[in-house]
Amino acid sequence: MTNRDNSLNQEISSYEKEDIVAAATNISYGAPIAILRMSGEGSHEKLLKTLKKDTKTTANVLKRARFLDLTTRDLIDDAMVVFFHAPSSYTGEDSAELHLHGSPFVARKALTNLQRAGFRLAEPGEFTKRAYLNEKLDLIESEGISNLITASSEQEWLSAKYLLEGKLQGKIKELHNNLLEVMAFLEAQIDFPEEEDTIAISRSILKEKAKKVFETIQSLITSYENGKITSEGLKVGLIGPPNAGKSSLMNALLEKDRAIVTDTPGTTRDYLEERCLLKGRLISLVDTAGLRETEDIIEKKGVLKAKEIAQNVDLILFLFPLDQDESTFKYFEESIKELKKTSHLTLFTKSDLTEKSFFQKKEGLFISAKTKENLDLLQDKIIEKIDYHTNAFKNSVSITSTRHLSLLEEASNKLETFLLHFETPHYEEILAFELREINDTLSRIIGSIHTEDLLEEIFSRFCIGK
Ligand SMILES: Nc1nc2c(ncn2[C@@H]2O[C@H](COP(=O)(O)OP(=O)(O)OP(=O)(O)O)[C@@H](O)[C@H]2O)c(=O)[nH]1
Ligand SMILES: [Mg+2]
């Protein structure tokens, strides 16, 4: 829970207080039930107008309810209803759910009936936005819920759950409080200047405190790699000369013929990205155009793109085919020099062919997309890397989102300036001002300070009904 002050409540517009309704389940034929969700101060009263008199409104208990046409009082559905009372509800407002028999026709009819009773249709993410505005969730938890809804793999679920667990919020609040302490001291200095000696001692303690905060922010920033790999999967780039067997390897790992394979060098000209599960772990494979000097304009662009991709992946697989000679290998080695800074594995492909003797001395894994030799071992090596990042993610407080990353980078830059200014005498007011700015930046991560644009960006990613 955030410690947002009451001023936030005054920002809630009348539109944000209207009574809203939306389908909370996918309305389709074949779904046994359809759930409509309602929220708002007047939601109970409006819903009750559509139910047979004497329907019970006991909190949190699913009750049978005859759902009637508002004007004709004809039965629309023999439904179930549950009422939630503010503040003990998802949104923090009075809210309710209506469980109908699943036909899309009935659900649409019911929605129209509820609109006539005074509800308006909810916007995407509006229920969760209200939960945030009513301080039932902070922004990080809201983002966690958004990720949880779209999770399609163990890793995505893990990182969403992690945001909901609140470890990151706890860490940010701790940093925030440490800076508050430093700020309180500086402000006291401004108001009650004390003896020089005591000041000197306390100042060095305070500088240490601010430095620790800086270091923690740095470690959160570096944790982004673990967080990103855990939540989005490991991005693996296949790089090699033309005809190295990159597309063949891509297809073998995907277990389907996704990329075109031919014996003409320069077959793949654009890049091709595909997500898949490798022994249950999410990865994203990127096949690229073979690296070589070429006059062909399209291929040339492909080669440039390949190099650009190689700089943005988490792991590069360098592929070199055993049926080519030493000079081609040397040219290739030269062209990938820069790329070797990224984590990589060297693969000698087409191991089913007779190899040129000079390769025997080279380090790398010998594989064949044709006979599948060592493909299992290659998969294990990739998985080892994923698990390394996932374990690091699980074992320490990490970040997963670019929003959190850019705010932490902003805070870190400001804190660096603050630490530089720290020794300057009579600078207390500026220092206190700088600290306040840093704390505001940290608050924006949790959402204790927000802008409408930010909320719009976060909550519009949700589906309607959440
Ligand atoms: N013998 C053998 N041939 C292979 C193997 N892998 C690929 N090939 C052949 O090598 C040729 C090139 O394969 P591709 O997968 O298209 O190679 P690429 O690296 O994607 O080539 P470009 O897209 O042109 O850069 C094709 O004729 C494949 O059948 C292998 O493990 N063994
Ligand atoms: Mg190819």
Q: Where in the chain is the domain with CATH 1.20.120.430?
A: 154-223+399-446
Residue minimizing CA distance to atom 8 of ligand 1:
245
Q: Where in the chain is the domain with CATH 3.40.50.300?
A: 235-395
Cβ–Cβ under 8 Å, residues 81 and 63: yes
Gap between the Cα atoms of 190 and 438, Å rounded: 19
Q: Tens place of pLDDT for every residue, the chain, 466 residues?
A: 334 443 444 467 888 889 999 999 888 887 789 999 999 999 999 999 999 998 888 999 999 999 999 999 999 999 999 999 999 999 999 999 999 997 889 999 999 999 999 999 999 999 999 999 999 999 999 999 988 888 877 778 888 888 898 889 999 999 999 999 888 888 777 776 666 655 666 778 889 999 999 999 999 999 999 988 988 889 999 999 999 999 999 999 999 888 889 888 888 888 899 999 898 888 999 999 888 887 888 888 888 888 889 999 999 999 999 988 888 888 888 889 889 989 999 999 999 987 656 677 778 999 999 999 999 999 999 999 999 998 988 888 889 888 999 999 999 999 999 999 888 877 888 888 999 999 999 999 998 777 777 788 788 877 777 8
Of all ligands present, the nearest one to the C-alpha of 302 is 1
Helix 452-459 vs helix 126-133: crossing angle, to nearest 10: 140
303: left (phi over 0), alpha (psi -120 to 50) or beta: alpha
Atom of ligand 1 nearest to the CA of 319: 19
The pLDDT of residue 449 is 76
Residue minimizing CA distance to atom 1 of ligand 1:
350
Atom of ligand 1 nearest to the CA of 265: 24
Atom of ligand 1 nearest to the CA of 268: 23
Q: Where in the chain is the domain with CATH 3.30.1360.120?
A: 7-138
Task: Tell how far the Cα of 266 is from the centroid of ligand 2, in angstroms.
Answer: 7
Ligand 1: residue of 248, 307, 371 to mutate (most ligand atoms within 8 A of CB) is 248
The pLDDT of residue 25 is 87
The pLDDT of residue 7 is 43
Residue minimizing CA distance to atom 21 of ligand 1:
243
Of all ligands present, the nearest one to the C-alpha of 294 is 1
Indicate the fold that domain 154-223+399-446 takes in CATH: Four Helix Bundle (Hemerythrin (Met), subunit A) (1.20.120)
Task: Tell how far the Cα of 308 is from the centroid of ligand 1, in angstroms.
Answer: 22
Atom of ligand 1 nearest to the CA of 242: 25
The pLDDT of residue 393 is 86
> May I ask the CATH class of domain 235-395?
alpha beta
Atom of ligand 1 nearest to the CA of 251: 15
Block residue for tokens 């662009």: 301
Task: Output the ligand 1 site: residues, CB below 6 A.
Answer: 240, 242-248, 261-263, 265-268, 289-290, 349-350, 352-353, 368-370
CATH number of 7-138: 3.30.1360.120
Let me know if 214 is exposed, middle or buried by CB neighbors in 10 A (0-12, 13-18, 19+): middle
Gap between the Cα atoms of 144 and 166, Å rounded: 10
The pLDDT of residue 199 is 63
Of all ligands present, the nearest one to the C-alpha of 243 is 1
Residue minimizing CA distance to atom 32 of ligand 1:
350
pTM: 0.74
Identity of residue 181: E
Task: Tell how far the Cα of 260 is from the centroid of ligand 1, in angstroms.
Answer: 10
Buried b (16+ CB within 10 A) or exposed e, 339-372: beeeebbbbbbbbeeebeeebeeeeebbbbbeee
Buried b (16+ CB within 10 A) or exposed e, 89-107: bbbbbbbbbbbbebbeebb
The pLDDT of residue 10 is 44
Task: Tell how far the Cα of 265 is from the centroid of ligand 2, in angstroms.
Answer: 8
Task: Tell how far the Cα of 314 is from the centroid of ligand 2, in angstroms.
Answer: 20
Ligand 1: residue of 239, 260, 261 to mutate (most ligand atoms within 8 A of CB) is 261
Distances (CA, A) of 407 to 153, 213, 220, 221, 442: 27, 14, 11, 10, 7
The pLDDT of residue 195 is 60
Cβ–Cβ under 8 Å, residues 386 and 413: no
